[in-house]
Structure 1
Amino acid sequence: MRNEEPHLLNIPLDVLRRIMEFCVGVEYLKLRATCKHCQLAVPIKRLQTYSLNSPWLIVFDKHRGVITFTDPMFGDKYFIKTPQKLIGELRIYCSGYGWLLLYKLDGPGELFFYNPFTNDIRELPSGLPYLDSLYFLAPPTSPDLCTVLGLSASLPMNFYIYIWKSSSNWGALNIVLENEEGNNFWNAVVAKAPRRRFAQHILVSRDSHPLLVVLDELGEFVEVLRLNGYALKWEKLDSLGRYMIYICGTTSLCMEAKTPEMENKIYFPRLDSKHRKIVFYFLETRKYHTFNGQNVEQDLDDLFGTKYHVHPHAWIEPSWS
């Protein structure tokens, strides 16, 4: 009988450890999953010390049954197989702490937490209603309470709270936001944002302070505003300083850049048509660019001609727990 064992088994353990030191992220996970010999070479704890320069763009391709990760700086792509439980029509509600909150549209309608870096899947209670928005305040692995907030925009407006603790089951609380006349009363406004026709208004948080990104459909106009809490008005920002913003339909992130090359930029889930690299808006040049290694290249006046991911996608921060 032909021996089908991987040739990696023939490599001494210390040599294999040295090889795996050059692997990172999803590449490391794939090699580690090859055989038990690779698992012995470097334990999973090694990943906890690995730090990325930025979140990755994660894309689910239901037709090929694969998940793609794209590094926004170097454009490197990594692929893993979609877990069997998640194959089908998916909606990504939100991303945070290295986890995605997913709703499976086909079938009975199941809601999952999924960490693609550890392949961990946590189910929420079955039979939940389909909600317009969902958000979670802590990962399901948190020693504290994991709280999921859901909102139904239909009238009367329903606000759902799901709470889970590691030693208990999920509990649910449903709040109906309606006054005696049947009108929604949750209408408090802190400061009115400037409105532009056919423009998107995306709210992000920078160190617990709100920022507003305003851009039109083709990206010809981009503006970043911060809230002045004393004057109760939005003020224009000319620079993000050492911060960077990541935007897509399910994720709005603002964080401090780990390298100078990444800062003062807004990253989009779009690829340039020529090199298929992540497109970003640089507040210093007021133009769109891509990276060539760590160098900024290309000058694009708008997003015309760039490619948009139509499959479910989100920005996700790597987490190994």
Structure 2
Amino acid sequence: MAVAADDKGLVPFGEYQTWYRVTRPAGAGLPALVVVHGGPGSTHDYLLNLAGLADHGWPVVHYDQIGNGGSTHLPDRGADFWTVELFLAELDNLLRSLGVADDYVLFGHSWGGPLVARHAATRPAGLRGLVIADAPASYPLWLDEARRLRQALPAGVNETLTRHEQAGTTDSQEYFTAMRVFYDRHVCRVTPWPRDYLASFMEIANDPTVYLTMNGPSEFHVIGTLRDWSVVDCLADIEVPTLVLSGRHDEATPATLQPYLDRVPGARWVVFEESSHLPHLEEPERFTEVLLEFLTELKGKGAHG
């Protein structure tokens, strides 16, 4: 697998910096696959195995969104700073700075999914295709489904979670232990957790500023600024071929994905039967097959420009 980056560095983003890595194939001519991670407040690490697509001719761009990983950390900034618009501007800046804005495909995972959908709805001329992986179209839908999934957890788990959420003690070991029951069922079903996922998980713990501000203390307790955010209103404006991915046991349930399928013209959906929220780590071989099939179709439609 081609995981060695040919280029790593920092691009200026206003007075800040965005860390990136590019894995280039031996050949040239295909659009860059730009990988947009989740969180918000996570890092690229858990999506690193997508760099293997360079073995099939696709340049792959990873980056850490501002506030985490190798990019500028700003732990003293408040909710007025950490906005969707900030991360959209960062993505636009990255595409231009790396010289790929004229020919690229976007892969957005989890929070990265609605982010790339909002970007795609502006109909950028260089965008050739869109992959929305394990991602809600609406956080109110996400919260509704999270409540349903929580109620189906083993006896006592949801009660423990709720007690700590109401008491404001979500940083306790008891909350973390109960949280892991949900995560092991609906986020990552591989045990022990893969190294790349652990790396991103620890990066959030090292600087939880963005995650706590925009999301909340856990995947299923969204009390941050995203709690009412939705991209449903703009999905009909997306014009590029769009692939929607999810796991059978995903916290991104079919209900959270349905607006993409209803509103994005021609959107297709693939479900990974043995996966939850991270099918690229839970079923990596089939994941690669599905993604390559979609990318090959783009190439057949002249995605190389």
TM-score (norm 1): 0.24
TM-score (norm 2): 0.24
Q: Which has the higher contact order (CA 8 A, sep 6+)?
A: 2
Q: Which has the higher strand share?
A: 1
